[in-house]
């Protein structure tokens, strides 16, 4: 089995910079993302002498334009960042609005269904002003950069400002997603303008967001709370059929948390802790696979072969059962309690994206972001399409609009890092809604238990389990594997090729050198600097 090396010390190289007031020394590093413009924005920060957090913040802001079907400042996200000595999770997910409404909370909401055609299959999503939760990602990025970044904010926002003003042609993957969510993003002219030009052709441009980001770089968080916060309440308050109040905006604050840690031999896996569900379920799967009573010994089985695949599918089934409720299995109590609150009833699109960065100084950053599918309502002055997270069934398990105001919403997002003998060796995460847990667990097992390279682990065929149903990708499966799985599962859905359904694991690592793997399922791109 191959043994991965841990990241060494800094490897800076000198570079010129047009500004005469400071000398720039390029930071070596690598970024993996879902779009070339997103990845290039992060690489640019490394060339400017920034660290992994500078890179991921710049990349995320650029993704608000280049990956607008998947994320935006009107959405939410979770960041894992830091060094081996001090790792942080910044939870900038959404909060249930409605503080101070009292009886007004029961007034008719602007909340309705939209049917989306996936090509042979239809799904109903819930959108409108009443679907908007308190968004946190933009404030989260600002606080992460203030605490952990080192470049001037004006430098950090520059790639996103340029992308917003110049616009860009959507990638092939983005074009496909735009077509899927067209019924939502054409609900209002202001939203459609973010995705289509005046002739109706798909084009991603957002000059008003560019203006706002420049102003935010100058004025900071107070502008978010005053200017943007006021617009949120005016657009989605009770007078307009929403639940957002000034008290919600004033109270919202991203939460810094200690990461959840799980040992695996010489490695330690760090990920998103409760109250989110994804990291706990991935950790649960790793503990089941590595426990003394598991008897799995995955590294002794032919990789992806019948026995390996059936054992991994059993692990996926175990964490699926934990997600719904316990059936007497020796499962982690925290994961089971989270699972009770987040039982999934459908398989949503998973309009989510992920970024991973590892720099040559040993800092990691992994960020997962979403707007759900978006609610169809845009704050036109700011160019911000708002989320529909109150309309997502998987994170509203007891029904829509039943959670108390101020409730921190749970998520399957699980940005993850691995320390090998105390040093960063792997950084990864994925979009994909409830498939996040399956995609991450399998990728980690391919690397940790079977010693596969990062590239092999990301491109390997995936499975996902819910109840008695199993989904799998045929491409790359050894002969006999699918037959073995069909012999153990009541219902099997096999997809011929790698599919966006199974997420998009964008990962970076150090295996003697900095390298990365962008998931082809979601247009993955890697940029290396130095």
Interatomic CA distance for residues 346 and 118, integer angstroms: 14
Using H for helix, E for strand and C for coil, what is the string for 21-43? CCCCEECCEEEEECCHHHHHHHH
CA separation for the pair 130, 111 (Å, rounded): 5
The total of other beta-carbon atoms located within 10 Å of residue 491's CB is 11
In eight-state DSSP terms, residue 224 is I
Using the CB atoms, write b or e for 82-111: b if 16+ within 10 Å.
bbbeebbbbbbbbbbbbbebeeebeeebbb
Q: Are strands 491-495 and 469-473 parallel, antiparallel or unpaired?
A: parallel
Asked if 361 and 10 touch (Cβ cutoff 8 Å), the reply is yes
Question: What Cα–Cα distance (Å) separates residue 67 from each residue in 178, 193, 194, 374?
Answer: 10, 15, 11, 13
> Catalytic positions, please?
352
b/e map 138-155, b = 16+ CB within 10 Å: bbbbbbbbeebbebebeb
List the Cα angle 249/225/255 in 5-degree steps. Answer: 65
- Please provide the DSSP assignment of 428-469 as one string: E----GGGHHHHHHHHHHHHHTT---HHHHHHS--EEEETTE
């Amino acid at each position: 089995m191959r043994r991965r090396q841990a990241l060494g010390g800094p490897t800076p190289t000198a570079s010129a910079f047009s500004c005469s007031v400071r000398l720039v020394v390029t930071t070596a590093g690598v970024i993996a993302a879902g779009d070339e413009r997103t990845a290039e924005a992060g690489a640019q920060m490394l060339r400017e002498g920034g660290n992994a957090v500078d890179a991921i913040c710049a990349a995320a802001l650029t993704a608000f334009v280049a990956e607008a079907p998947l994320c935006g400042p009107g959405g939410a996200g979770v960041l894992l960042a830091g060094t081996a000595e001090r790792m942080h999770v910044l939870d900038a997910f959404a909060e249930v609005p409605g503080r101070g409404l009292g009886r007004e909370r029961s007034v008719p909401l602007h909340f309705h269904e939209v049917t989306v055609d996936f090509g042979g299959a239809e799904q109903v999503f819930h959108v409108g002003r009443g679907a908007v939760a308190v968004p946190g990602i933009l404030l989260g990025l600002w606080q992460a950069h203030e605490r952990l970044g080192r470049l001037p904010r004006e430098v950090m926002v520059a790639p996103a400002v340029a992308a917003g003003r110049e616009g860009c042609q959507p990638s092939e993957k983005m074009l496909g997603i735009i077509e899927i969510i067209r019924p939502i993003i054409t609900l209002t002219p202001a939203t459609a303008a973010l995705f289509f030009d005046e002739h109706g052709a798909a084009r991603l441009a957002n000059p008003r967001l560019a203006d706002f980001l420049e102003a935010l770089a100058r004025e900071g968080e107070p502008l978010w709370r005053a200017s943007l916060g006021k617009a949120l309440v005016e657009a989605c308050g009770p007078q307009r059929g929403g639940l957002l109040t000034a008290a919600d905006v004033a109270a919202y604050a991203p939460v810094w948390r200690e990461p959840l840690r799980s040992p695996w031999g010489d490695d330690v896996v760090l990920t998103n802790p409760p109250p989110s569900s994804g990291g706990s379920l991935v950790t649960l799967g790793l503990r089941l696979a590595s426990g003394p009573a598991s008897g799995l010994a995955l590294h002794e089985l032919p990789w992806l072969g019948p026995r390996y695949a059936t054992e991994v599918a059993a692990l996926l089934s175990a964490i699926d059962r934990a997600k719904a409720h316990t059936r007497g299995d020796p499962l982690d109590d925290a994961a089971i309690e989270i699972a009770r609150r987040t039982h999934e009833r459908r398989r949503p699109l998973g309009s989510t994206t992920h970024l991973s960065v590892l720099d040559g100084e040993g800092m990691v950053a992994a960020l997962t972001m979403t707007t759900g599918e978006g609610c169809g309502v845009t704050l036109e002055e700011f160019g911000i399409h708002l989320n529909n997270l109150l309309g997502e069934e998987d994170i509203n398990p007891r029904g829509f609009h039943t959670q108390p105001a101020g409730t921190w919403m749970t998520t399957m997002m699980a940005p993850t890092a691995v320390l090998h003998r105390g040093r960063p060796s792997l950084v990864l995460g994925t979009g994909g809604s409830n498939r996040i847990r399956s995609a991450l667990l399998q990728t980690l097992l391919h690397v940790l238990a079977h010693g596969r390279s990062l590239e092999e682990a990301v491109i390997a065929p995936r499975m996902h389990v819910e109840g008695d149903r199993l989904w799998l990708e045929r491409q790359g499966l050894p002969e006999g594997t699918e037959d073995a799985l069909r012999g153990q599962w009541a219902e099997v859905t096999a997809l011929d090729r790698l599919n966006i359904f199974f997420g998009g694991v964008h990962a970076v690592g150090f295996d003697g050198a900095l390298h990365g793997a962008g998931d082809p399922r979601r247009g993955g791109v890697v940029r290396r600097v130095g």
